[in-house]
Structure 1
Amino acid sequence: MYFALEFEIQYDSGIIKDYFSEKYQKNIDPNSLECLMSKFCFLMGTNIVAFKNLKNDLKIILRKKTESVYPDILVCKFCESKLISYDSSILYTYSLNKSGNVRFIRKSCTKCQAFYEIDRYGIGAKTYFYEFSSTKYFKLSNQTVFHLDILIDISHHIARNNMTFEGYSEVYNHKNGETSRTLNRKRLSEIWFSYQLRKYQNIFDENLKCFDSKNTEFFLEGCLSKIHKSLFDDWIIIHEKQCRDEVCKSTVILDGNLKCNRLRCIVDYDSSDENSFGCPETPKIGSYYCEKHIISNMINNDFLPPDDFVMIHSHQKNKKGEIIFHVKFNSAPKNRFIEKSIVEKWTAEYDAYIKNYNKTKTEKLSCILNKDLFFNKKHTAGITLGATGCGFILNFKEMIRSESLKFVSKFLIETSNLSEKNQFKFCIYDNSCHLSEYCQSKIENGETEYSIFKETYFVIDNFHIKNHCRSKCTEKHSAKNFEELKSINTQICEELFSRISKSKHNTKHMGKNHFIFYYLVLFDSMNKLKYNAFLKN
């Protein structure tokens, strides 16, 4: 009898587990059953080695068995009455160890009729999530569930290796082959955003109300600013308490990244606010406009450059004496020489290039540093980052059209307001010479929000000082002139961008809210890794 029972536990543990789980109305660990019976068989003198050798032959049979999972709750949250199992559904569950069909049991309260499912509960029309720390399964739809282990794994790879959703899906499908249902990139991204949003949900919703996992782009609209402020408030406080370098505490390093951009519908592009979001929708393939605006406005794309256009770099004469333009693109060949007759049709880009060319001809004494970007208007300009010299990210913001002085100064004010000190002694930025002049003019004009920069030194980092040709740039703004900054890594943003830029393939086709939230999660993860390394040292 014991011999047969050991065989049952070794190769049919699911049946035994389900039996005890139903009996005690909780999830029983099958490993505890196996250890118990193995010990019993050993004491009885039974040899179980032969049965363990059969394990490989029976793996296929075991995979086909349907596991049952119960909500890990015994009494009602509303009235503390007893719960009973009343229904079940079989959903396909993705997991690192074993993907397949799982039977999820539903419970109900005998008194108030509240219902309890695998990751949520409710009463009447009100539905809530369980506490994030106690949730092991995340439901995407009525057919699909994801186990916690696979969501932790992809989050780990995104933070450390900048893996894309598509890349992770391909690896998963290749690894599991025919034993698992194909993992779709879109479904993976949907559940990842839902998972991450639930991780931060207590910031903006203490009741943990349910939201649609497939509609997180819309749901984020009302809570994104709260998440942004809460995360960076915490990291600024942690840095000020933990960092031992007083100069680092009073220094912020700014820089813009032009690679981390996204596609956008360019309706409202000519808004008075140069970095307004405009239409938040992603444009249709082959167009500058989203499907909604194409249908409603019948927009003509004949006078727009190709989708992969970046900027008009320069112009020159060819051997025939004809003017040709050096144009940069995102795809190969990235540098192309195009006839004037073609470039002239791109009216907005051509006019902007000529305007800038005439401007630079008359400003011989200006720095060789141009922040008036002529990017394809179908793309946002990128992101701007604020970091400490030791590598903590203090703030970030999306650039829609350009890295203008107005945008950077407003971003610096926002970052300063997050800090308890409300100001930084040093601001390190690759265009600090012009930023200093811009802020000083605002102070002279009586704009009070700029008064926090009266005692701020605007410094150009060692990497970008070579782009400046005015004598006052090197004499007044070079980092080498400040003895206190010798211990500060003034190029920290460039080092961070070498990692962050690898995420551009993940975010290219995201909507506005997903794009911002993705980088909030990424920067929070990077700060945690930095903090853990900081504690070890």
Structure 2
Amino acid sequence: MMNFWGSEWMDSSNSTEILDRRRLSEAWYKKTIIEMFTEYNIDDKIEFIKSDKIEALLVFHVEKLWKGFSKKWSSSFHTDNCKHTECSKAIIIDGHMKGTRSVCAARGVQYVESKELGTVEMGCWKMPCKGSMYCQDHKNLQMQDHKAPVAKEYDNEEDSTDCKTLKEKGPLIKCKTAGICASVYNCGIINGMKELYGCESLTQVYMFLVWLAKELLHFPNLLAYDDACHLKKFIINPLRAIKSQYSQFLAALRIVVDKMHFANHVDKWCRRNVNPYTDEQFKNINTEACEQTFQFVAKYKYSIQLNICHMENIICSC
């Protein structure tokens, strides 16, 4: 049997202490997070990381990390080095249901305040305890009905088309995330990503777009999405569109269905208002940039999403 240097630490037969694999995991997490802090000019310092504190640590810092990521890849760092002839002319967003994770089954336990949508009810997004449907904070709760987080709607206009593409009417993924919603420039550079809960609801997609409008240094006026008909009606709702400067900005965007999914949109309103083939500004735009990016990201669905997105951007910009 071949012996490797240091292998005695993994052998309990000689009465030595075994090197716990969790220490290696903790060291890797700490190294990765420190590298990301350095990459995005975040001054926070990381002390010793324990296995049972990793989730809390990531939750505490993840917003800063994503902001740093989005600002970097929407800045001149990207545009000055991109070789794509139509660099950053449009944003394509899409949901990706691979790489879901288990979440606490508690619902209606926290709320997100949105100037554009009001108070949005959310479930708990922490990991459940081993052998339980609930996290440590909610382990005493009884099993509840599962429903996707939704905003208070002003009307049902978003559902007034014949297209069967409204995603929040699909089956909910109970006690799991619904994957992620990604934002990608048409040249293939990822500029933002958010985890989805319950389903790919209009509320969550809209809140993600508002977040992008706040954080991106460059947000072009062209947007493609596979369910653009429902999203556009949601965005241009007269009562919602005047809520803030960001809702006004989104309402002014040119929004179309991506070319691959447009065949599924049969309603006359869709054909008239979100047709990528009749809008000259989308003539040379790669509206499938998200789908192409997901082919790469899906290979690493159990890794840190932000790190993988950074890797994909480096590859695309070469």
TM-score category (smaller protein) = 0.7 to 0.9
Distance (Å, rounded) in 2 between the aligned partners of 1:525 and 1:190: 21
Note if 1:263 corresponds to 2:102: yes
* Aligned residue in 1 for 2:182: 385
Match of 1:239 among 64, 78, 86: 78
User: Rg bigger for which structure?
Assistant: 1
The one-letter amino acid paired with 2:106 is V
Per-residue deviation at 1:413?
2.0
The one-letter amino acid paired with 2:94 is D
Per-residue deviation at 1:201?
3.4
* Aligned residue in 2 for 1:249: 88
Per-residue deviation at 1:275?
6.9
Note if 1:415 corresponds to 2:207: no
Structure 1 199/241 Cα, relative in aligned 2: closer, same or farther at 3 Å?
same
User: Equivalent residue of 2:106, what SS?
Assistant: coil
Match of 1:525 among 296, 300, 311: 311
Distance (Å, rounded) in 2 between the aligned partners of 1:219 and 1:195: 13
The one-letter amino acid paired with 2:226 is D
The one-letter amino acid paired with 2:30 is S
Distance (Å, rounded) in 1 between the aligned partners of 2:240 and 2:212: 22
Matches within 5 A, 1:138-537: 186-202=22-38, 203-205=41-43, 208=45, 210-212=47-49, 214=51, 215-237=53-75, 238-243=77-82, 247-269=86-108, 276=122, 278=124, 280-285=126-131, 287-290=132-135, 293-294=138-139, 296-297=140-141, 299=142, 348=145, 365-372=161-168, 373-421=170-218, 423-442=219-238, 446-448=242-244, 449-504=246-301, 506=302, 518-531=304-317, 533=318
Distance (Å, rounded) in 2 between the aligned partners of 1:453 and 1:470: 23
Per-residue deviation at 1:494?
1.1
Are the aligned partners of 1:261 and 1:382 in contact in 2 as well (CA < 8 Å)?
yes
Per-residue deviation at 1:436?
1.2
Per-residue deviation at 1:212?
2.2
User: Equivalent residue of 1:220, what SS?
Assistant: helix
> Does 1 or 2 have the higher relative contact order (CA < 8 Å, sep 6+)?
2
Distance (Å, rounded) in 1 between the aligned partners of 2:84 and 2:125: 44
CA distances 1:196-219 after superposition (whole Å, capped 9, x unpaired):
01212343336x453325333233
- What's the RMSD between the two structures over aligned residues? 3.4
Structure 1 272/417 Cα, relative in aligned 2: closer, same or farther at 3 Å?
closer
Per-residue deviation at 1:246?
7.3
* Aligned residue in 2 for 1:355: none
The one-letter amino acid paired with 1:525 is M
Distance (Å, rounded) in 2 between the aligned partners of 1:434 and 1:502: 30
* Aligned residue in 2 for 1:148: none
CA distances 1:137-189 after superposition (whole Å, capped 9, x unpaired):
xxxxxx89xxxxxxxxxxxxxxxxxxxxxxxxxxxxxxxxxxxx999765543
Say how many residue pairs are matched: 290
* Aligned residue in 1 for 2:6: 100
Distance (Å, rounded) in 1 between the aligned partners of 2:279 and 2:21: 50
Greater share of residues in helix: 1
Distance (Å, rounded) in 2 between the aligned partners of 1:492 and 1:477: 18
* Aligned residue in 2 for 1:171: none
User: Equivalent residue of 1:428, what SS?
Assistant: strand
Per-residue deviation at 1:255?
0.1
Q: Which runs of 5 or more residues in structure 2 are unaligned? A: 11-16, 113-119, 149-158
TM-score (norm 1): 0.48
Per-residue deviation at 1:444?
6.2
Structure 1 99/388 Cα, relative in aligned 2: closer, same or farther at 3 Å?
farther
The one-letter amino acid paired with 2:104 is C
CA distances 1:377-401 after superposition (whole Å, capped 9, x unpaired):
2111110000011111000001112
User: Equivalent residue of 2:255, what SS?
Assistant: strand
The one-letter amino acid paired with 1:251 is A
Distance (Å, rounded) in 2 between the aligned partners of 1:494 and 1:182: 44
CA distances 1:265-302 after superposition (whole Å, capped 9, x unpaired):
111357665673515132434x43246644x34x36xx
Q: Which runs of 5 or more residues in structure 1 are unaligned? A: 1-59, 64-97, 103-142, 145-180, 305-347, 353-362, 508-517
Structure 1 278/439 Cα, relative in aligned 2: closer, same or farther at 3 Å?
same
Are the aligned partners of 1:381 and 1:399 in contact in 2 as well (CA < 8 Å)?
yes
Structure 1 101/452 Cα, relative in aligned 2: closer, same or farther at 3 Å?
same
Distance (Å, rounded) in 2 between the aligned partners of 1:183 and 1:486: 58
* Residue identity (%): 25
Are the aligned partners of 2:30 and 2:46 in contact in 1 as well (CA < 8 Å)?
no
Structure 1 192/397 Cα, relative in aligned 2: closer, same or farther at 3 Å?
same
Structure 1 278/233 Cα, relative in aligned 2: closer, same or farther at 3 Å?
same
Are the aligned partners of 2:106 and 2:123 in contact in 1 as well (CA < 8 Å)?
no
Structure 1 471/493 Cα, relative in aligned 2: closer, same or farther at 3 Å?
same
Structure 1 283/444 Cα, relative in aligned 2: closer, same or farther at 3 Å?
closer
Structure 1 183/253 Cα, relative in aligned 2: closer, same or farther at 3 Å?
farther
Per-residue deviation at 1:416?
2.5
User: Equivalent residue of 1:255, what SS?
Assistant: strand
The one-letter amino acid paired with 1:462 is K
Are the aligned partners of 2:109 and 2:124 in contact in 1 as well (CA < 8 Å)?
no
